[in-house]
Structure 1
């Protein structure tokens, strides 16, 4: 399990420590470093699996085109370091070096820890409704969730059992049935029908609910179901693995506020089974759902929110925990206070108009 991440000279961070618990929320203003924390973990995990002489393809690892690895180096670093940037997990540091000849090759040296676990990562740019999805290949979730349907079928074929705490229907504990149960809890009654075409290496999905008599293709159901289905499948899949780390960016995408709260509850429930969970979100509903779930389970101590903000050209972090009464330990300025600010502005406008 990750308890502490330390970043030196990495992107917006000059020298920063980041704390983690069983469930860690990363939130805050745009461009404050939330994604950089996730990217540091992805780089670190791959580097621990790679020989020191092997080039790391940062764009492939991060799932985005970053151009030259020089773009990962902080522009404001004032300290001294032999490496271009350092990433340490639980005190075990890896130094990252950019090849001097071309400036395009990235290497890592050091003794990395295995505490980081096996990462299941879903990025913010997940695949939406499609006629078909990827099948076959690795049993590791793709960053865009494009093989999630296949993994659900695979889990059924392997008779994979999820932890007891995540089973909503004990009569039919099959993996896909629990996916249906969680999707129905989050979004209303949802029935899933899947099939895999081995020759085409494609998985197909049909969806029905209380409003439709026949199952329909995903492209007729909007984005919400497709986006959240990959989150639920990946969360349950990660919960079946030992030493796993689930990272999800923007689980609230395309969801009504009530569904946002329930996906927060789901992710908190996953974290209570021994799978470490890191969530990057801009949704107060996701955070509220998560803290409600853990408070109800008497496991509030497993929750931590890292609120990121900018101060004097430097990225800063304020840690928020759940108090004994279920409330957050603090509500700093900029932490989901926009509604109050907007209401205050409206009040002032009404007063002004009333005086004219």
Structure 2
């Protein structure tokens, strides 16, 4: 498991260390640095996948700013404008999996491949291969701008079978579900009788029914093409509806499907990065997204989630109060701007689900509105 991430001269941060837990929640106002945390991890992942962190032959090691997971621009876009007193280099450091590794990249304003300082000049406790949580199989990163409801979705054996990857926008989710629908999945006591089937498809339907009662789904090939289709039905037995394509069903169902599949298919020791899983969901569904992510964390996956939803926060608090998570298995980071930089406050969820601190701006809009209504 990853235990901490330290950012130096990266985007909105001069220097910031963050504790990482089995379930880490990132929240705060817009443009306060939350997404930068996920982007830093995704940047390291894509640089490693491309071979840039440990290149073979005469190529130089570096951070690859623009690839499948993130497209960050050039050095000018990713370096903190008022760089740290230690110098202009951009440094990302990780501790976890029994290792402590640091990468320092030389700043070049127009470069989209930032060269890393030679090994002898940077602190490195272990090679990247010793951070399996980030660099091993099972990694998922689902952005806020996930794929919208479509008539068909791409079919890629390499993505879903070789890599087990849903796509940064969830574009491979339907094909992954088609290929792995009969895979066994540990059932959750949260679902009660709804968890009748222990397959990926059965569990996916059970969780989706928490969002839309009576819904079922099918992921199948489109004959003669390299695409797959998703369809929904509603009701049971003789009252069961015809099949509907995603474009004729509420936006939220398809938008949340990658989140559900990612959490259900997560193996122990894997890392799941989630941006705004609550998007397009009713408040009750937002709370259930926290329950689902908590269940994945309790099974041994590591979840790092960015959210603007107090329902997601409260869902996590309830899972600490009622189980299966303990307070030390959670980390809450509240990001806020302080002049030209970002700072982080760290409220702690106690065993009773209560928070140790409510800093100004931290999910206090309801109280502010209520004060005005009662004035």
Q: TM-score, normalised on structure 2?
A: 0.84
Partner of 1:184: 209
Q: Partners of 1:69 and 1:209 in 2: how far apart? A: 50
Could you tell me which of 52, 59, 62 is aligned with 2:66? 59
User: Cα distance 1:172–1:342, how it changes in 2: closer, same or farther (>3 A)?
Assistant: closer
Q: Partners of 2:190 and 2:175 in 1: how far apart? A: 20
| Conservation of the 8 A alpha-carbon contact between 2:211 and 2:285 | yes
- Residues 23-42 of structure 1 mapped to structure 2, 5 A cutoff: 23-42=23-42
Partner of 2:106: 97
Secondary structure of the equivalent of 1:138? helix
Q: Partners of 2:102 and 2:179 in 1: how far apart? A: 36
Q: Partners of 1:93 and 1:199 in 2: how far apart? A: 49
Partner of 1:88: 93
Deviations 1:117-160 (A, max 9, x none): 3420100000111101111131211010011011111113xx53
User: Cα distance 1:200–1:221, how it changes in 2: closer, same or farther (>3 A)?
Assistant: same
Q: Does 1:292 align with 2:318?
A: yes
Q: Partners of 2:254 and 2:351 in 1: how far apart? A: 37
- Residues 200-219 of structure 1 mapped to structure 2, 5 A cutoff: 200-210=225-235, 213-219=241-247
Q: Partners of 1:41 and 1:116 in 2: how far apart? A: 11
Q: Partners of 2:225 and 2:16 in 1: how far apart? A: 47
Partner of 1:307: 334
User: Cα distance 1:275–1:29, how it changes in 2: closer, same or farther (>3 A)?
Assistant: same
| Conservation of the 8 A alpha-carbon contact between 1:43 and 1:61 | no
Secondary structure of the equivalent of 1:216? coil
Deviation at 1:97, TM superposition (A): 2.9
Deviation at 1:54, TM superposition (A): 5.4
Q: Partners of 1:56 and 1:299 in 2: how far apart? A: 35
Q: Partners of 2:113 and 2:67 in 1: how far apart? A: 13
Residue range with higher mean Cα deviation, 194-203 or 136-145: 194-203
Q: Partners of 2:220 and 2:18 in 1: how far apart? A: 42
| Conservation of the 8 A alpha-carbon contact between 2:76 and 2:108 | no
Partner of 2:260: 232
Q: Partners of 1:290 and 1:186 in 2: how far apart? A: 17
- Residues 271-350 of structure 1 mapped to structure 2, 5 A cutoff: 271-301=297-327, 302-348=329-375
Deviation at 1:276, TM superposition (A): 0.2
Q: Partners of 2:349 and 2:372 in 1: how far apart? A: 30
Partner of 1:75: 81
User: Cα distance 1:303–1:152, how it changes in 2: closer, same or farther (>3 A)?
Assistant: same
List runs of 5+ in structure 1 lacking aligned partners: 349-356
Matched residues, number: 341
Could you tell me which of 99, 111, 114 is aligned with 1:106? 114
Q: Partners of 1:204 and 1:114 in 2: how far apart? A: 36
Q: TM-score, normalised on structure 1?
A: 0.88
Secondary structure of the equivalent of 2:203? helix
Could you tell me which of 130, 134, 141 is aligned with 2:154? 134
Partner of 1:124: 144
Q: Does 1:5 align with 2:13?
A: no
